[in-house]
Amino acid sequence: MTKDKKGMSASRRQFLTGAAAVGAGAVAGTVARAAGPDPLITEVQDWANGLGHGVDEVPYGLPIEFEGDVIRRNVPWLTADPISSINFTPIHALDGTITPQGCAFERHHSGAITLKKDDYRLMINGLVDQPLVFTYADLERFPRENHVYFCECAANTGMEWAGAQLNGAQFTHGMIHNMEYTGVPLRTLLNEAGLGAAGDFTDKWVYVEGADASSNGRSIPMEKALDDVLVAFKANGEALRREHGYPVRLVVPGWEGNMWVKWLRRIEVTDHAVESREETSKYTDTLEDGTSRKWTWIMDAKSVVTSPSPQAPITHGHGPLVITGLAWSGRGAITGVDVSIDGGKTWTQARLAKPGEKMALTRFYLDTEWNGEDMLVQSRARDDSGYVQPTKAQLRETRGLNSIYHNNCIQTWHVKTNGEAENVEVS
């Protein structure tokens, strides 16, 4: 990438405007006075005079053009090819917890395939009493459940193991989305095929694979399969998007995103883990001594401040400041988030927008005052298993630098006196 190619982006211009506003001297605790009447108020505006769009204009809408910054982005140098690759959710610009599907991240191994409901088939075979084939229409006739869960790529934050590398929460933490899923519990489908032949479940597995060329086959222990795994066909109220597995995907609450097999075509009950490519070559975590952890399924408690952050600088000058972010845990519900503005010397409990829900994103806020001082902003999540989000140094002590996956370290943003923020590491 060349320097001149970067140019001056929209948000950079916004940032400079904001910095000028700080210089103009809004003083904390003082309500700024208007220099004169505001023409946006005193003059009749077009939108108050003419007509807007009719209801027949947009049968299915996209965000208004002024939100053109809230999009998925990719990092071309991360992968050899954009087909087996990743892009990132613009978490720096979102609020609340539900991820809009249209900008929710994608990770494919052989591209986002087009699979019609009419062409869809789901097979259950292996150690079942009766191997079965379901059509999409069959799946809609089983009793359904609704749940909100996060899907976090195992590699989220993986580029940051060795140091501060990418400058923005979207890039460091955006391999995640959080949706309300509608679907059928996997246990209902397994029961339909009959698990008598499987006998004792303690050493049994299900192997799940997709209809795409990569197949993305993964082994899941029977205990999890019978617990909360969902065969989902709706997300955030509507059908899954093509890139998220249309028409059917697996939802594996709390577990690494790779196991959320998209375009799900087959579920096999086995008496062994298949040890497929995606659980041997990939999604295994190499430790300092050269041995590697396998089957690191759970995503540990994690959080990130989404604003202020490198892509969301402070542009409003001194005074009231909302520090906000996301926290989540694959081990259960978030019970609290602590925020530091001095790089972890002191911590303050943030306010959770709602009580944490199991294996779902939780929004936190710290309503504070900013007087233009340098800040080293951090957040630290806690969950109901008692787990406290560690620092990167703590993770490196147990894992070294080559784990690739499962980096749930505390993130630091350096917010400078002009409101700009940068991804840094601190001692």
Partner 1 sequence: VAQEGKFGLGRPALPEEVAAWDLDIAPDGRNLPVGSGDVWTGDEVFAENCAVCHGDFAEGAGNWPKLAGGQDTLDRDDPLKTVGSYWPYLSTTFDYVRRSMPFGNAQSLSDDEVYAITAYILYSNDLVDEDFVLSNETFMDVEMPNANGFIVDDRETAEAHFWTDTPCMENCKDEVKITMKATVLDVTPDEVGEDE
- Which among 96-104, 131-139, 236-244, 322-330 is the span making contact with partner 1, rule CB under 8 A? 131-139
* Other beta carbons less than 10 A from residue 114's beta carbon: 9
Q: Give the C-alpha separation, 425 to 307, whole Å.
A: 18
* Other beta carbons less than 10 A from residue 106's beta carbon: 21
Least Cβ distance, residue 176 to partner 1 (angstroms): 18
Among 85, 101, 276, 368, binds partner 1 (CB under 8 A): 276
Q: Give the C-alpha separation, 38 to 46, whole Å.
A: 16
Q: Does 351 bind partner 1 (CB under 8 A)?
A: no
* Other beta carbons less than 10 A from residue 293's beta carbon: 14
Among 95, 145, 180, 192, binds partner 1 (CB under 8 A): 192
Q: Which helix (H) or strand (E) holds 364?
A: strand 362-370
Residues of this chain, 246-265, that bind partner 1 according to CB under 8 A: 265
Q: Does 347 bind partner 1 (CB under 8 A)?
A: yes
Nearer to partner 1, 148 or 426 (CB): 426
Least Cβ distance, residue 203 to partner 1 (angstroms): 14
Which alpha helices (DSSP H) does 95-251 contain, by range?
A: 136-139, 169-173, 186-193, 222-225
Q: Does 209 bind partner 1 (CB under 8 A)?
A: yes
Residues of this chain, 82-111, that bind partner 1 according to CB under 8 A: 83-84, 109-110
Dihedral sign of CA atoms 67, 68, 71, 74 in order? negative
Q: Does 394 bind partner 1 (CB under 8 A)?
A: yes
Amino acid, single-letter form, for residue 104: A
Among 385, 396, 416, 418, binds partner 1 (CB under 8 A): 385
Among 173, 177, 224, 266, binds partner 1 (CB under 8 A): 266
Q: Give the C-alpha separation, 356 to 29, whole Å.
A: 33
Nearer to partner 1, 223 or 275 (CB): 275
- Residue count of the chain, please give it: 427
Nearer to partner 1, 101 or 270 (CB): 270
Tokens of 297: 């399924």
> How far is the CA of 423 from the CAs of 143, 177, 197, 228, 398, in angstroms?
46, 21, 54, 36, 23
- Which among 21-29, 99-107, 144-152, 191-199 is the span making contact with partner 1, rule CB under 8 A? 191-199
- Which among 32-40, 99-107, 192-200, 243-251 is the span making contact with partner 1, rule CB under 8 A? 192-200
Name 103's Cβ contacts closer than 8 Å, sequence gap at least 6.
70, 71, 72, 89, 90
Least Cβ distance, residue 251 to partner 1 (angstroms): 20
- Which among 25-33, 46-54, 296-304, 358-366 is the span making contact with partner 1, rule CB under 8 A? 296-304
Integer-rounded Cα radius of gyration of the chain: 24
Please count the residues of this chain forming the interface with partner 1, following the rule CB under 8 A.
105
Q: Give the C-alpha separation, 330 to 301, whole Å.
A: 7
Q: Which residue has the tokens 């001056």?
A: 8
Residues of this chain, 3-22, that bind partner 1 according to CB under 8 A: 5-7, 9-12
Among 21, 70, 123, 353, binds partner 1 (CB under 8 A): 123
Residues of this chain, 297-326, that bind partner 1 according to CB under 8 A: 297-298, 300, 310-311
Q: What is the DSSP string of 229-257?
A: -EEEEEETTEEPPGGGTTT-EEE-TTB-G
Nearer to partner 1, 26 or 75 (CB): 75
Phi, psi of 38 (to 5 degrees): -85, 115
Among 120, 149, 161, 171, binds partner 1 (CB under 8 A): 171
Tokens of 160: 């940051």
Q: Which helix (H) or strand (E) holds 325?
A: strand 319-328
Residues of this chain, 46-85, that bind partner 1 according to CB under 8 A: 69, 71, 73-77, 79-81, 83-84
Q: Does 126 bind partner 1 (CB under 8 A)?
A: yes
Q: Does 168 bind partner 1 (CB under 8 A)?
A: yes
Among 30, 213, 351, 371, binds partner 1 (CB under 8 A): 213
